[in-house]
A and B are shown apart, each in its own frame.
Chain A
């Protein structure tokens, strides 16, 4: 955790003076009273950390406002604490950062370009830029996180990685990182996804991973996470769980965000270099939310930058299956976190749907739930059809084949062009995070678009 280190002096004082108020601000929805010295809970335990955002107080450890936490079996608490300790000691060391920077630069292909889109900008009436995470090794932003976690795990003395994967992008990125760093790799993947995403299964196997199909539950990503968590209980001694998105139990949302924040940091610096000012808006697709939080986080303190996440609305018909818990869900607990979920009123998790497999998750990272609750970020919707239209537009106008995930982010901008033109100042700059490339989606796209 990068707690006090990232909090400026003035803000620390403000936080301290606000602390009594903060104890009311950090409770779960149903909590009438919350933790704190006045309730007989040792203060140091619950207020040692503050993830800093503008105007915010110190928060309960592992929480973003009401969201986050560690809802896991007791047997997983020791490895989570071990990971938290390793983040504090190992990740802050210069030699770790040097080794990670080297891998990101020379293995993964950072820094990625910030590409101006002349044709679409002309059409839209404002400047559209793409952060090109699609150009990274293995084809998506996932490698930023897996290299970081693999390196951390190796320095913790772990010999193997276990991970879940939905579409297979995180599985491939984990397998690549494991191979590069000489570690074992087990990937859990829903049996249905194994069938739908056969090319990625082959890639993982070629990279030396053992792919285990998950037959339980809905046989998709959420069940793969359950199975990976179960496996981790038994294998924790020599295995690190390389979680794929900025979700799950603390400290994963923070860990993954820290590794993905390179996206926003580069975007911010490059935009300043090219235009002399900050972008007016950054946009990213949100499934679990790792590419989005990676783009958003470095801009949270820049009040002039509008932040927009885009969820997958599925077919968009009322009551249809979707992957939009922030817009269409309610708060609940799944996979170790209190967050926004697609669920029944009895608290059973509902299956999600999106044409984009990478957004197909019934939950969302807790920091997004909190950014939505505080109003710092806005979360919109894009349907399957809108994403496919945006996919085609980018191919033809700019010569880039985007992943269907990223197509949702672009779709929201294209669909709201008129409104954005009216709201944004002239010559404004909008950055869409192009989190991955679309080659993996051609089978799906072919079913919907005439080729």
Chain B
């Protein structure tokens, strides 16, 4: 079983929804980033998703884009991120990188896979690489034990999900809304159908993301369809940016 799947299954075995906080590398500042990651780890994050900043983040909403822009302005690069991660203390949480294709392409996908694995990265989320473009990248990452996490949503047919299921490991990222990342008050009712199709198509754990802020947002989800993990990004970034401790945000979810 892939390490990321194991992390989520462990949380579920303990009766919890696994927690996957997202934080942009170098956020809120290059100096405070490391402390924020350590705090998320200490406060029970099961997987920590670190965003690689990109100039044109087309799947992201305004909060993550702004965090990305600030990180780039302060000189954050993929090379620097991978170098930094190697100096981090050993984390309890699994480590996932989220980033767009072009910085990885310029780094060299094979070198990226090697250096990311050396830095302790266990998974990648690359939102602009759908199934059709993913074959060789998935193989390069897989050879280093890194899972390429599939994203599926409201308009992903079950048959398509099965195509992803045939090649995926780690976990599945279920996108809750038809839109970009960012906090929403309510979640759309179609989300339940998406979760249902994903449950049928995948044997991997399901992580729900995009729009999550408070645990109560999941109250309306019936027990059988509860996601195995919850991802939160924009709400956490805003929380941290307001000067509040990263760990405090996670405490509400535990």
Q: B145 on the interface (CB 8 Å rule)? A: no
- How far is B69's CA from A71's CA once the two chains are assembled, in angstroms? 21
- How far is B160's CA from A77's CA once the two chains are assembled, in angstroms? 10
Q: Which residues of B contact A31 (CB under 8 A)?
A: 136
In chain A, residues 222-240, which have Cβ atoms closer than 8 Å to a Cβ of chain B?
222-223, 226, 229-230, 233-234, 236
Shortest Cβ gap from A270 to chain B (Å) = 40
Whether A73 lies near B179 (C-beta < 8 A) is: no
Q: B106 on the interface (CB 8 Å rule)? A: yes
Q: Which residues of B contact A73 (CB under 8 A)?
A: 58-59, 127-128, 130, 151
Whether A74 lies near B55 (C-beta < 8 A) is: no
Whether A30 lies near B78 (C-beta < 8 A) is: no
Whether A347 lies near B127 (C-beta < 8 A) is: no
In chain B, residues 121-169, which have Cβ atoms closer than 8 Å to a Cβ of chain A?
127-133, 135-136, 150-157, 160
CB within 8 Å for A332 and B136 given contacts A234-B178, A348-B54: no
Q: A343 on the interface (CB 8 Å rule)? A: yes
Whether A75 lies near B77 (C-beta < 8 A) is: no
- Tell me the interface secondary structure of chain A in the complex: mixed
Q: A420 on the interface (CB 8 Å rule)? A: no
Q: B215 on the interface (CB 8 Å rule)? A: no
How many B residues face the partner with a CB closer than 8 A? 48
Most chain B beta-carbon neighbours within 10 Å: one of A30, A72, A79: A30
Whether A349 lies near B55 (C-beta < 8 A) is: yes
Whether A75 lies near B65 (C-beta < 8 A) is: no
Q: A33 on the interface (CB 8 Å rule)? A: yes
Q: Which residues of B contact A333 (CB under 8 A)?
A: 100-102, 105, 128
In chain B, residues 67-99, which have Cβ atoms closer than 8 Å to a Cβ of chain A?
69, 72, 77-79
- How far is B107's CA from A343's CA once the two chains are assembled, in angstroms? 13
Q: Which residues of A contact B129 (CB under 8 A)?
A: 71
Whether B105 lies near A72 (C-beta < 8 A) is: no
Shortest Cβ gap from A43 to chain B (Å) = 13
- How far is B157's CA from A156's CA once the two chains are assembled, in angstroms? 20
Whether B56 lies near A75 (C-beta < 8 A) is: no
- How far is B175's CA from A424's CA once the two chains are assembled, in angstroms? 58
In chain A, residues 312-336, which have Cβ atoms closer than 8 Å to a Cβ of chain B?
332-336
- How far is B106's CA from A69's CA once the two chains are assembled, in angstroms? 17
Whether B109 lies near A30 (C-beta < 8 A) is: yes
Whether A233 lies near B105 (C-beta < 8 A) is: no
Q: B104 on the interface (CB 8 Å rule)? A: yes
* Contacts from B to A (Cβ < 8 Å): 54-59, 61-62, 65, 69, 72, 77-79, 100-110, 127-133, 135-136, 150-157, 160, 175, 177-180
In the complex, 26 of the A-B residue pairs with CB atoms within 8 angstroms, ordered by the A residue number, are A30-B108, A30-B109, A30-B110, A31-B136, A39-B135, A41-B135, A73-B127, A73-B151, A75-B153, A75-B155, A217-B56, A230-B58, A230-B179, A230-B180, A236-B178, A332-B102, A333-B102, A335-B58, A341-B102, A345-B106, A346-B78, A347-B78, A347-B103, A348-B72, A348-B103, A349-B102
| 3 A-B pairs with the lowest CB-CB distances in the bound complex, closest first | A347-B106, A347-B103, A347-B102
